[in-house]
Structure 1
Amino acid sequence: MRQQAVRPALAGGAVLLALLLLLAACGGSPGGGRDDGHGTGGRTEVSGAAPHPAGRVARSAGPVTRLTVPPQYTTDRGWEVIGASPEVAVSHTTGRLAYLERTEGHRYRLRTIDTATGEPGWSGQASRPPDPPHYPRLATVTAQDRQYFVTWSYGKAGDGMTPASTFVALDLYDVTNGSQRRVEVPWSGAPGVSTSGPEIVISDGRANSTLVDPVTGAVSAVDAGRLKYPKGCPACKQLTEVYGQTGAGLLVGGAREFWVRGGWFSRNVAPGGTDRADGVVTSVAPGRVLARWALEKKAERAASHDLWAVHDAATGRVLASVECHRPAIEPGRHPQAALSPSGDHLVAGNLAFDLEAGRGRCFEGADGVGRLSLVTVTDDGIAYGAENARDAADALSGGGLPVAVDLTAWTVSRLSRNARLPGAEATGVGVFRWTDRQDRTHLIGYPRTD
């Protein structure tokens, strides 16, 4: 990964330009990789070294790169990071944003900045992911009122003399001070990793999972026999999958019903007007579960529509719901839910919910086709996305026609065709991503105009 240039707003000039060119010369090409497993045991290491201070800050009257963005943001001031990882994580409790940089020897270092000012914060010790080396995934997890940045990657390690073993490598960083812990979990097969909290869940996409406590680094395996299947639910033992964890326990689903191990059961919290024995989890976010429900067979639109509901993860209570036309072809992967910083709004694909008001909206055409991909939403109830984009990643990369959606009036406004969308927002600053001609990722923070 490259050295980064972080530039908060202030003064500029020829000296600044020379400094920026010098810093940019330290860069390299970003890489990326995604892996969606099964293992027991684990190894954990705690770094006692003090976090490295972040790099030098160059100041300017505004970001060198000025993008076309929604009118809710100003490009007159802000900050910019050149050569960061494509993926970032935001701690709304501290206002810190974390990103990764590539260092020598296929190693990676996590760095942080203050989203409000662009000032650099703490950075972690460089660590090496398993082979093949690529950018680890990056997320946040909250446990025991403490928040952590989490990086994880999957691969193998070997000395060339003995068969290589495969494992999931996680690095956990306390968001307040950067204290770092390394945990390695033996694993075979492509893992799914959930950080909805309070523990990190590594799943094989079926009924087996391993839990990692971010506070202590403790690793524990949970096999199918310990999932506490609800009584009288034969569908629960069909296509069983561990989706993640809630404050009440593991969230598990079967072919048509779902439950929290030792907690609530979907049949007991089904929204009114639905088939209580026909609900499936489609996405999990911290404190929230998005589920799709079949309507009662006697319902007028039972053959053409489903009901989508956002459930409170701790209790199963329905917070908001909306009916939406059933697609002609079932998607292979449902859109990932995105929460506003306060957790009062949620969007996923063409679905949007105002959880505080208990309302939802399905944005679809007269033909019943949802052509809207919403990717992020602010505490003001403004969601951003694109029409005719393949998915959220495509919309953030500039695909489709950018739009802003007001979740109070439920109105859709077209943005400039080349407008970039914020991938996240914290402390009133939108974080935008852009890739230049040298294949370097730019992260740019623009404050809200209000």
Structure 2
Amino acid sequence: MRQKIVRLVLVGGVLVLALLLLLATCGSGAKDKDKDGPEKHTEKDPAGITQLTVPAAYSSEHGWELIGTSPDYAVSRTTGALAYLVRMSEGKYQLRTIDPKNGRPGWHGDSWRPPSPNKFPRLLSVTVDDHEYFVTWAYGKVGENALTPADPIVSLDVYDVEDGSRRRVEVPWGSVPTVSTAGPGILISDGRTNSAVVDPGSGRITKVQPSSLKYPKGCATCKQLTEIRGLTKKGLLVSGSKEFWVQGGWYSRKVAPKGTDRASGVPTSFLPGLILAKWQLAKGAKLAATHDMWAVHDAETGKMLASTQCSKPAIKPGQYPQLVAAPSGSYLVAGPLAFDLATKRGFCFEGADGAKPLTLASVNDEGTAYGASSVRNAADVLAGNGAPVAVAVRSGSTGALPSNVLVPGMETSDGVGLFRWTDEKDRPHLIGYPRSS
């Protein structure tokens, strides 16, 4: 290939050389495959795809495989593209996309060096006004050299999911951050009351002062252990030790589920438009001493969408499971909890005495959730630990899977299951298997 290019330069002269230089410097939106990056196999080369033992709903004889990619991946709800990071040379990284239906490469961005070059940046997605972006972020110090270090920053690279055009935003930040994209913007928080919101479209940074949190009138616990939890279209989601509210919006005491202590709500997880909250049952209720109510609320109005009761030992404080949604958003899972928003039903999958609860890690648009028993969290499930299970969220029925089955981390809207696996060389694999016909 190099000899061919040299001949073209010799024959075509300066004009061809200029054209080659222009192509070489094109960044975002390019579809040419880079020399560096992960090894890749597709359905056109099925012999090269690792065939894992997976649920019968998926065909492990077809699909695609990426080797050596980032721990995180993100799937666009609007374009369907799957984004992942690869490690380049000299501490640089690059965001790439593929079509998960067939593994074909899409656009990729320019490579860049984050503040913490020794580990992969985190990867998220965010939607604002129906426009979607992939977001990578990293935290650390950036300076001209070791003798003149700069203040620590949160470094954000925001990519348009349509064409990969990129915007760099750097936010000075003095403590280890929490970064969330579950609302209409990028929320950076210190885990307490200091936060900043970044508009991914314009890059505008809005600092939020603790004095502007607008505590609800009469809420004595709202100023205790106050923490910014998320961002909604109406404002920040904030919690105290026992209650929570949306800044300038609604207040948990006024939307408490029937049969609960109205001053006991604790938000535990947040997705775009949805909040999972734990409530104590009302004093005097039959199961008040042993059970809590878990409810899914609309983030904009506070309205309860579905609920279920679960024994208190099943989900311990400080270890709350994260809410995971099917691509359509109709089904949700979190630890032993599952919700069908269409029927407003919820389930808690545990033994009669609260022992041996299931941990659910993913759910698809068919209403099938996958998880395992005898594990600590969803990460254990996806690592292949525990006894794998499948759950039909519509009916609440469960079924054991063969002990060697690996369950998907998610299923795309096109019916492709995404599986993680690490080989004997400690290389991470991301594999996409389509649904069986």
TM-score by length of 2: 0.89
SS in structure 1 of the partner of residue 222 of structure 2: helix
2:163 maps to a residue whose letter is: N
CA pair 312-60 structure 1, distance change in 2 beyond 3 A: same
CA pair 330-432 structure 1, distance change in 2 beyond 3 A: closer
CA-CA distance at 1:370 after TM superposition: 4.7
1:350 alignment partner, one of 324, 336, 346: 336
Contact 1:386 1:399 in 2 (8 A): yes
Contact 2:314 2:350 in 1 (8 A): no
CA-CA distance at 1:49 after TM superposition: 4.6
CA pair 170-184 structure 1, distance change in 2 beyond 3 A: same
SS in structure 2 of the partner of residue 393 of structure 1: helix
- 2:264 aligned with 1:278, yes or no? yes
Residue 411 of structure 2 aligns with which residue? 425
Q: Distance in 2 between matches of 1:361 and 1:398?
A: 24
Q: Distance in 1 between matches of 2:65 and 2:273?
A: 31
CA RMSD of aligned residues (A): 1.7
CA pair 346-64 structure 1, distance change in 2 beyond 3 A: same
- 2:89 aligned with 1:104, yes or no? yes
Residue 45 of structure 2 aligns with which residue? 60
CA-CA distance at 1:367 after TM superposition: 2.2
Q: Distance in 2 between matches of 1:255 and 1:101?
A: 41
Q: Distance in 1 between matches of 2:117 and 2:27?
A: 27
Q: In the TM superposition, what whole-angstrom CA distance separates every residue of 1:272-313 from its partner, at most 9, and x where no partner exists?
A: 001111100000011110000011102111111110000011
1:440 alignment partner, one of 423, 427, 433: 427
- 2:382 aligned with 1:396, yes or no? yes
- 2:192 aligned with 1:214, yes or no? no
The equivalences for 1:75-224 within 5 A come to 75-131=60-116, 133-158=118-143, 159-224=145-210
- 2:315 aligned with 1:311, yes or no? no
Contact 2:49 2:63 in 1 (8 A): no
Contact 2:222 2:243 in 1 (8 A): yes
CA-CA distance at 1:63 after TM superposition: 5.1
Q: In the TM superposition, what whole-angstrom CA distance separates every residue of 1:328-387 from its partner, at most 9, and x where no partner exists?
A: 883322111100101111100000000111000001112213531111100110001111
Q: Distance in 1 between matches of 2:291 and 2:377?
A: 21
Residue 14 of structure 1 aligns with which residue? none
Contact 1:257 1:267 in 2 (8 A): yes
Contact 1:63 1:444 in 2 (8 A): no
CA pair 386-445 structure 1, distance change in 2 beyond 3 A: same
Q: Distance in 2 between matches of 1:164 and 1:400?
A: 45
Contact 2:92 2:117 in 1 (8 A): no
The equivalences for 1:32-43 within 5 A come to none
Residue 362 of structure 2 aligns with which residue? 376
- 2:323 aligned with 1:337, yes or no? yes
CA pair 119-361 structure 1, distance change in 2 beyond 3 A: same
> Structure 1 regions of 5+ residues with no counterpart?
1-46
CA pair 63-313 structure 1, distance change in 2 beyond 3 A: farther
CA pair 345-79 structure 1, distance change in 2 beyond 3 A: same
2:277 alignment partner, one of 277, 280, 291: 291
1:421 maps to a residue whose letter is: V
SS in structure 1 of the partner of residue 221 of structure 2: helix
CA-CA distance at 1:324 after TM superposition: 0.7
Q: Distance in 2 between matches of 1:328 and 1:78?
A: 37
SS in structure 1 of the partner of residue 46 of structure 2: coil
Q: Distance in 2 between matches of 1:329 and 1:92?
A: 30
SS in structure 2 of the partner of residue 53 of structure 1: coil
Contact 2:236 2:247 in 1 (8 A): yes
Residue 58 of structure 2 aligns with which residue? 73
Residue 233 of structure 2 aligns with which residue? 247
Q: Distance in 2 between matches of 1:176 and 1:265?
A: 37
Q: Distance in 2 between matches of 1:54 and 1:370?
A: 50
2:120 maps to a residue whose letter is: Y
Segment drifting more, 228-237 vs 160-169: 160-169
- Greater Rg over alpha carbons, structure: 2
CA-CA distance at 1:268 after TM superposition: 1.0
What percent of counterpart residues are identical?
A: 56
CA-CA distance at 1:62 after TM superposition: 5.7
TM-score by length of 1: 0.87
> Structure 2 regions of 5+ residues with no counterpart?
1-24, 35-39
Contact 1:197 1:245 in 2 (8 A): yes
Q: Distance in 1 between matches of 2:95 and 2:342?
A: 35
Q: Distance in 2 between matches of 1:62 and 1:375?
A: 29
Q: Distance in 1 between matches of 2:48 and 2:340?
A: 33
Contact 1:62 1:77 in 2 (8 A): no
CA-CA distance at 1:420 after TM superposition: 1.1
Q: Distance in 1 between matches of 2:53 and 2:378?
A: 19
Residue 21 of structure 2 aligns with which residue? none
Q: Distance in 2 between matches of 1:323 and 1:371?
A: 13
1:55 maps to a residue whose letter is: K
Contact 1:63 1:77 in 2 (8 A): no
Residue 12 of structure 1 aligns with which residue? none
Larger RCO of the pair (alpha carbons < 8 Å, separation 6+):
1
- 2:29 aligned with 1:51, yes or no? yes
